[in-house]
Amino acid sequence: MSKPILFTGSGVALVTPMYPDGRINYGKLEELVDWHVEMGTDALIVCGTTGEAPTLKMDEHLEAIRVAVARAAGRIPVIAGTGSNDTDHCINSCREAKRLGADGLLLVTPYYNKTSQRGLVAHYTTVASATDLPLILYNVPSRTGLDIKPETMAQMYRDIDTVVGLKQASPDMAATAKLAAISEVPIYSGNDDLTVPVMALGGLGVITVLGNVAPAITRDICRLWLDGNTDASRALFLQWMDLAQGLFTDVNPIPVKEAMNRMGMEVGDCRLPLYTMEPAAADKLADLLRRHGLVK
């Protein structure tokens, strides 16, 4: 029996908007949800890396999920980031996200303490036994120091009923190709500058940072490709590649919050230890935004 697909196309990894004093601006979060619905974004991912999950207190984390789900009101899938390097904590977060109405969960690999490939299987199997929500696993070795090997991912997709996809935030395209060759797991690019290459291997879209500032463009890159208009998708992808890469000239989500603030979206700064961009780098990012007509 085929597994459900949470979404195809552009899933935006939402920033967590904040006031100048560092409190979460839940009203602004509601505005962002409405904007993405209007722009045709295909899914929203809250409290992930781009949402500064590592510095959100548990009550903030859950309130952000609650607010996003309530505001979306079924108009767009809301996928909650609930991964952890503590399996018990991950399970508790998953259960709370289900209670709050999340449509699915994004589960980053255990970080810092890490684990073996066998440990990954045990971790995700244990988490899956505690929730019936669909799970997208999240492979980002540059941040976690841990890589889900293609064979491991194929095994988990085959053996864990609720595993329905992989966010592949690894530049190792050979590994992505191998996974596509040995498994039918839906793959979402976790890097905006690899969206089209991943879809060329059969991927279903992207979990995007660029979509925070250019949601319609990111949506169109995916929809054009998935509809078979590959030349138009490729051209649009290459046209916006410079901004996609510019949003990673500092640690994510520092640049994307800088960009959104330059666009007048008032999402605030990041919490420490993430810090503001160097002025010269911020000005270069502003030049990219002007080049693409996102600021004057």
Which residue(s) pair with 18 in the sheet? Answer: 24
Task: Return d(Cα 54, Cα 143) in angstroms, integer.
Answer: 12
CA distances to 31, 112, 145, 241, 287 from 261, in Å: 14, 32, 31, 21, 14
Of 157, 167, 188, 257, the active-site residue reads 167
Task: Return d(Cα 207, Cα 205) in angstroms, integer.
Answer: 7
30 in a structural domain: yes
> What integer pLDDT is reported at residue 2 of this predicted model?
78
16 in a structural domain: yes
pTM for this predicted structure: 0.96
CA distances to 73, 92, 135, 178, 211 from 205, in Å: 23, 29, 16, 18, 12
Of 124, 138, 157, 188, the active-site residue reads 138
177 in a structural domain: yes
95 in a structural domain: yes
What CATH code is carried by the domain that includes residue 156? 3.20.20.70
291 in a structural domain: no
**Does residue 255 have a cis peptide bond before it, meaning omega lies within 30 degrees of 0?**
no
* 178 touches 153 (CB < 8 A): no
Cβ atoms within 10 A of the Cβ of 296, count? 5
Report how many domains make up the chain. Answer: 1
The answer to whether 138 is a known catalytic residue is yes
Which residue(s) pair with 138 in the sheet? Answer: 108, 167
pLDDT tens string, the chain, 296 residues long: the values are 478 999 999 999 999 999 999 999 999 999 999 999 999 999 999 999 999 999 999 999 999 999 999 999 999 999 999 999 999 999 999 999 999 999 999 999 999 999 999 999 999 999 999 999 999 999 999 999 999 999 999 999 999 999 999 999 999 999 999 999 999 999 999 999 999 999 999 999 999 999 999 999 999 999 999 999 999 999 999 999 999 999 999 999 999 999 999 999 999 999 999 999 999 999 999 999 999 999 98
275 in a structural domain: no
26 in a structural domain: yes
**What token pair was written down for 43?**
């899914």
- Domain of residue 219 covers 9-229
> Which residue in the block uniquely carries the two structure tokens 């440990």?
119
The answer to whether 178 is a known catalytic residue is no
43 in a structural domain: yes
